[in-house]
Each structure stands twice: as C-alpha cells, then as structure tokens.
Chain A
Amino acid sequence: MLRRGLLLAILFLPFAGVAAQGAADEAAIRRGEYVFSAAGCFGCHTDVKGKGAPLAGGRRLKTPFGDFLGPNITPDPDHGIGGWTLVDFTRALREGVSPGGDPYYPAFPYTSFSRMNEADIADLWAWLQTVEPADTENREHELGFPYGWRRLIGIWRTLYFAPGDFDAGDPPASLGEEDRETWERGAYLVRVLGHCGECHTPRGWLGASDSSLFLGGSTAGAEGAPVPNITPDDATGIGRWSLADIEGYLEIGMDPDGDFAGGAMGEVIENTTGKLTPEDRRAIALFLKSLPAVERKVARPAG
C-alpha cells in the first residue's frame, strides 16, 4: 500500500510541479499586462494610424529634436525582441542600452524606467512573450542636427542619466501616516512606470528634464502641442482640482470644465490611466497634489 502510494507520488509529482509553475506563469503574465498598461508601452510602440500590428513599432513621435520611430518589441526573433533574454530586457530598461551595448536615445524613457523594480520587469517580460510576433522592420529615427549624431547620447548620458533603484523619498510632513503607502505607490506610478515627467517636465536644449520644474509643463511637447503644468499651483497648474477631479480625469478624460482630453493625453487615458485600478488612480492623484507647486504658465508660443 505504502509502496503504491509512493509510486503514485513519483509518477504525479512532476505534473503537479508543472501545473503550479503554469499557474505562477499565468499570474506573472496577468501582472505583466498591468505593468504594460501602467508603463504606457503601447503608445510609442504601435503605429495605430498606419494600422500596424500591436507593438510592432513604427509610430512616429514628433519632438523638437526630430522624429523618433518606436521599434518593434514583439517576440519576433529578427525584427523584435525574440532573441533577447530577461537580462537583456532588464538592462534595456534600467540602463538604457541594447543587448549589443549601444545606448538608446532617451526618447525611450529609461531615465524613468531605470527605477522599475525587478518584479515588475520580470512580469512585463513574461507578458511580452505572449504577444503575437510581427516581422515589421524597424526604421531609423529622423533627427535634426546635431541630434542625429549618436555619439551625443554618450555625452548626454554622462551628464544627465543616473541609473539606480527607486526611492520615493520622504512624503510631505502634512501627509497622514495612513496615506504614506498610497503616496509611495503614487510616486512610483508617476515617476517610474507612468513616466509622466517625460512630457510634463520642461527640457533644456540637450533634452535633459529640468527637475526643479518637475511636472511644471512644457511648451514644446511631443506632437507639437504644449503639455500642461500638473503641479498644484492654483493659477497655472491643477491646484484647484480636487483628488476626485484628478481621479475622474485619469479614468475617463473629463476635466473640471467638462472638457474631454484629446491628443497625446487622450491616448494616455485610453491606454494607461483608464486601465489602472481606482486605488492606483487615487495614489497618482494624492502624489500629484503633494508636489511642490510650480508657478509656470504653459501655452503655445504665439505665431
């Protein structure tokens, strides 16, 4: 009897192991899909206008430095990231270099993603493996002088790129102890996954974000549109928005004037913030309201 039990156990244990492994993978894939939404990968890596396959690249991102064309990140071995390992992927996100060691242009927001935690990266990687491979070829960026000169990236990295782990820092003293965890989650969503500062923080001539004006808005955002100041300044930012106003805006795109977002933020609401949990939207709102107010009016330059 005992022997028979042992035999059964030996026979079936490996299968039980595989089943548990499969369930763990499933969970990782589901979490990875959420990370994918929160990190907004779809927008730059999918040419929706040109009816390109999801994540097959080709979306044109117009910037003051020229046009960047998002690459194919499907698991295609020749044109996508099918030949990559998790180590390659982690290095791309956290250090901003390709598996071959070439630095990426910071249009790929690795300045933000550098602080992604390893669990999120592994989950995102697991989910990306489930994407339909597409053999869409990558296209060269079309950049103005001198930005097309790739060696500038090295200088830029030396001056402005500081990789490292995420540290939310200290919450403002006014924040209650019960909100601390929410605030830290909000900081991670805004600063890292959501990479909000990549558009909402103004940049200098070499493309470095001015951290003293964090989320203070940019007159020259991607797609040629001004990007609003989202710090809590009453006159020039979103100081008059309530937490509920911000949460509602992130969910469905309606601002307190009853206007609905279009353009790049419309995409972000559709692909990212509208897909987050209400708790995460609340965390973002709480964090934004806690930021130092930047008094800075942003509008398109006249003419």
Chain B
Amino acid sequence: MNIRFSFTRKLLVPTIAVVVAGVLAVPSLAATPSETVKLRQATMKKLGEHMNAIKEFAMNGNGSAADVVKRAGEIGEVAAGIPALFPEGTGMDEVKDPKNGARPEIWLDWENFEKAAGKLETESKSLAAAAEGGDQETIKLAFQSLGKNGCGNCHKPFRIKLEK
C-alpha cells in the first residue's frame, strides 16, 4: 500500500497526470502489475520526448533556454517518482511484455537503483541551472552528462532493451 500511496502522490505533477489519465482510466485506483508496466513505459517515453527536445537546443541551438529549464524541471519531478514505478512483481520475468526489460537486478540491488534515480534528479537540476545561466557550452555539457549519468547509468545495470 505504501508503494501505491507514494505512487499516486509523487506522480501527480501536471505532465504526468496527463500520462496517467491516458493510461489508466481511474488513476486513483491501485494499478495492476501490467498497468504499472504500461505507465512506466509511457513515463519513459515522455522523458525521451523531453530529452529529444533538449538535445535540439543543446546540440543544434533550436528552441529556447527557457524551454530547457521547464523540461529539465519536469524530468527532475519524474525522477523522484521513478522508484515508485517499480514495485516488486513488475520485472521482465514477471510481467511478460515485449518491451518490459526491467532486470531483476533492480530489486536485488534496490539501494543502487534508488541512487540511480536520485542521480537523474540531481543531473536534471544541474541542467536546469545551466539553462538558466544561458551559456550554450555549459548547457551542452550538462545535457550530455544528464543523458550519460542520469539515463544511461541506470539503463546499463538495470535494463535490457528488448526491442528497438
């Protein structure tokens, strides 16, 4: 119950609420394991959209720094809720889904998994700060660091990519 409580509480930020509503008909009710898997896939997809938009500005100069600040802020808010998206019983061997690549290591090494999510949060804050500062090179480095250390370093030990 604890997990489910924090699940709804932490994820009720505006963007994610939209995602939740799209995936679950009644977001306040407890999700089944397969619904949880769908929810976190939708969440990760949203993060990917943010990262793509940020990349356009960080690497190619398209868009605005203000938009990066906003998106980095949302990534940080989602990051705080990531551990809640991985309740026990939702690993790749438990919920068969062509895209569920959540490795059992998540629950065998929960402490480091939480740390990895925490890293995403701090990295996204650094990026928001860099974007507020406005220096293009600093923003680029912060974006790359967020991708490698925030996203990649968690995917490396804890995810298998099952489909392109």
Q: Which residues in A have some Cβ–Cβ distance to B below 8 Å?
A: 223-226, 228-229, 236, 248, 252-254, 256-263, 265-267, 269-270, 298-300, 302-303
Which of B49, B50, B59, B161 contacts A263 (CB under 8 A)? B161
| Chain B residues within an 8 Å CB radius of A223 | 160
CB contact under 8 A between A263 and B159, given known A248-B59, A298-B164: yes
CB contact under 8 A between A266 and B98, given known A225-B160, A248-B59, A258-B52: no
A226 close to B162 (CB less than 8 A): yes
Q: How far is the CB of A226 from chain B (nearest CB, A)?
A: 6
CB contact under 8 A between A253 and B147, given known A258-B48, A258-B51: yes
Which of B27-35, B83-91, B128-136, B149-157 is near enough to bind chain A?
Answer: B149-157
In the docked arrangement, what's the CA distance between A299 and B98, Å? 8
Q: Does B55 contact A (CB under 8 A)?
A: yes
A262 close to B156 (CB less than 8 A): yes
Which of B51, B101, B154, B164 contacts A254 (CB under 8 A)? B51
In the docked arrangement, what's the CA distance between A261 and B160, Å? 9
Which of A228, A236, A248, A266 contacts B156 (CB under 8 A)? A266
Interface residues of B in 109-158 (CB under 8 A from A): 144, 147-148, 151-152, 154-158
CB contact under 8 A between A269 and B152, given known A248-B59, A254-B51, A256-B52: yes
Which of A224, A236, A260, A300 contacts B148 (CB under 8 A)? A260
In the docked arrangement, what's the CA distance between A252 and B146, Å? 10
Q: How many A-B residue pairs have CB under 8 A?
A: 84
B151 close to A260 (CB less than 8 A): yes
Q: Which residues in B have some Cβ–Cβ distance to A below 8 Å?
A: 44-45, 47-52, 55, 59, 96, 98, 101, 144, 147-148, 151-152, 154-164
Which of A225, A253, A256 contacts B162 (CB under 8 A)? A225
Q: How far is the CB of A264 from chain B (nearest CB, A)?
A: 9
In the docked arrangement, what's the CA distance between A252 and B55, Å? 11
| Chain A residues within an 8 Å CB radius of B157 | 262
A299 close to B162 (CB less than 8 A): yes
CB contact under 8 A between A253 and B52, given known A225-B161, A248-B59, A260-B147: no
Q: How far is the CB of A245 from chain B (nearest CB, A)?
A: 10
Q: Is chain B's binding surface mostly helix, strand, loop or mixed?
A: helix
In the docked arrangement, what's the CA distance between A26 and B51, Å? 40
Which of A224, A254, A302 contacts B55 (CB under 8 A)? A254
Q: Given contacts A252-B148, A265-B161, A269-B152, could you give 7 more A-B pairs where the C-beta distance is less than 8 Å?
A: A254-B51, A257-B45, A257-B48, A257-B52, A258-B52, A262-B155, A299-B98
| Chain A residues within an 8 Å CB radius of B45 | 257
B164 close to A228 (CB less than 8 A): yes
CB contact under 8 A between A258 and B49, given known A224-B160, A252-B148: yes
A229 close to B164 (CB less than 8 A): yes
CB contact under 8 A between A262 and B147, given known A253-B152, A256-B52: no
A262 close to B159 (CB less than 8 A): yes
A261 close to B152 (CB less than 8 A): yes
- Ordered by A's residue number, 25 sampled pairs between the chains whose C-beta atoms are within 8 Å are A223-B160, A225-B101, A225-B162, A226-B163, A248-B59, A252-B144, A252-B147, A253-B148, A256-B52, A257-B48, A258-B49, A259-B48, A260-B151, A262-B152, A262-B159, A262-B161, A263-B155, A263-B159, A265-B161, A266-B152, A266-B156, A270-B152, A298-B164, A299-B163, A300-B98
A262 close to B162 (CB less than 8 A): no
| Chain A residues within an 8 Å CB radius of B55 | 248, 254, 258
Which of A254, A265, A302 contacts B147 (CB under 8 A)? A254
In the docked arrangement, what's the CA distance between A258 and B54, Å? 9
In the docked arrangement, what's the CA distance between A260 and B47, Å? 10
B156 close to A267 (CB less than 8 A): yes
In the docked arrangement, what's the CA distance between A270 and B145, Å? 12
Instruction: Please list the 4 inter-chain residue pairs (A to B) with the smallest Cβ-Cβ separation, ordered nearest first.
Output: A262-B155, A258-B48, A260-B151, A258-B52
A263 close to B160 (CB less than 8 A): yes
In the docked arrangement, what's the CA distance between A269 and B156, Å? 11
B48 close to A262 (CB less than 8 A): no
In the docked arrangement, what's the CA distance between A236 and B155, Å? 22
B164 close to A260 (CB less than 8 A): no
Q: How far is the CB of B32 from chain A (nearest CB, A)?
A: 20
CB contact under 8 A between A266 and B51, given known A248-B59, A300-B162: no
